[in-house]
Amino acid sequence: MVIIQKSAALFEEKIANYLKEQSSPQSLYIPMEYMIQIGGKRLRPAVLMATSYYYNTHLLESSVDAALAVEVFHNFTLIHDDIMDAASLRRGNPTAHMKYGIDSAILTGDVMLIKCYDLLMRYPPDVALPLVKVFNKMAIELCEGQRLDMDFEKRFDVSIYEYIEMITFKTSVLLGASMQMGAIIASASEEEERAIYEFGKNIGIAFQIQDDILDIYGEEAEVGKRKAGDIIQNKKTYLYLKALELAEGVQKEYLTDVYMTSSLSLEEEVIKIDKVTKIFDSLVVREYANQLKDAYRDLALSHLVNAGFGNEGIEEFKLFADYLLNRTV
């Protein structure tokens, strides 16, 4: 992934400079700097920049402002998500609201969203307008996905189809939009824009399925957040929904009942995680999840061949897909 890695390295330099520009009042911008600097893979800005490069090799630098907008937006959503989830850890560090307080985290998130538009408006009008349209569509869908995710915690009739719709909006449209924005900057055709968006979107779905698997089966130190948080928070992930579909008798009754329970003690949470994980293992839902993940990877690659890249670009993004879906962190 030569160009993606080159893009990520350039982006790290650019975002460090950008954060230095956000100076006053410090109490507003320090949480922003903290959230962005505590880690993250920079996947979305890197593939945005690489997408522009593979359409026009002279545009790597020109895509930086859009890449900054995408990364600032991504971290804004994480700040607010962590508040809604009452999460204490993000990337192995205290969440922004735990470190700086809820009020500060909310306000910092708000200004980060506004900064995204400021960055996109740095482009000429004939580029900025299409970028903002794609950005707005993605941002609305992401909010819809977050709302669905929250609603699912209180519903007991969620279908696997609804789960896929939710993660498409909450997670994968951001990756798809990032790549489409890179294509816009490079003046790609509408057909190429659609193809690269679909590639990113479907890889994003597979990425989220892998994330759900890692939440339970990854090590806490690797994942960077509390292990099995999805089970504790009664998240209706694919693994849970597939288990509910396959389970019978006592197993089905337990899964239904335990996902109606909240406010558990630490000891009760440990018992819940252990029992739910054993049910998942007995029903081999991890294997089902891996099969679904692979199906979305194949669908993504079918769109990649229509994106208008040469062989080098196709191979680069195939390696990117493999990296995402075989990762352990």
Task: Write the pLDDT tens digit of every residue in 228-275.
Answer: 888 988 889 999 999 999 999 999 999 999 998 888 999 999 999 999
Q: How many CB atoms lie within 10 A of CB 84?
A: 11
Residue 309 and residue 54 in contact, taking contact as beta carbons nearer than 8 Å: yes
pLDDT digits (tens, 9 = 90+) for 62-73: 999 999 999 999
What phi and psi values does residue 94 have, to the nearest 5 degrees?
-60, 140
User: Quick check: 92 pLDDT over 90?
Assistant: no
Q: Element (H or E) spanning 42, and its range?
A: none
Q: CA dist 216 to 116, 196, 230, Å?
A: 33, 31, 8
What pLDDT does residue 276 have? 97
- Residue 56, classed as helix, strand or coil, is coil
Mean pLDDT of the chain: 93
pLDDT confidence of 220, banded at 50, 70, 90? low
Residue 119 and residue 65 in contact, taking contact as beta carbons nearer than 8 Å: yes
Supply the pTM of this predicted model.
0.91
What distance in Å separates the CA atoms of residue 39 and residue 91, rounded to the nearest whole number?
Answer: 7
What is the DSSP secondary structure assignment for residue 169, as one 8-state letter?
A: I
E strand segments, the chain: 89-90, 93-94
Write down all domains in the chain, each with its CATH number in brackets.
2-325 (1.10.600.10)
Chain CA centroid to CA 66, Å: 17
206-238 residues labelled b (16+ CB within 10 A) or e (exposed): bbbbbbbbbbbbbeeeebbbebbbbbbebbbbb
Closest CA to 33 of 44, 19, 46, 23: 19
91 torsion bin: left (phi>0), alpha (psi -120 to 50), beta (else): left
DSSP string of 184-242, one letter each residue: HHTT--HHHHHHHHHHHHHHHHHHHHHHHHHHHHS-HHHHTS-TTHHHHTT---HHHHH
Mean of pLDDT values over 321-326 = 92
Q: Which residues contact 207 (CB under 8 A, 6 or more apart)?
A: 171, 172, 175, 324, 325
What pLDDT does residue 223 have? 47
Q: Which residues contact 267 (CB under 8 A, 6 or more apart)?
A: none
| CA angle 4–123–55, rounded 5-degree value | 40
pLDDT confidence of 225, banded at 50, 70, 90? low
pLDDT digits (tens, 9 = 90+) for 20-33: 999 899 999 999 99
What distance in Å separates the CA atoms of residue 166 and residue 257, rounded to the nearest whole number?
Answer: 23
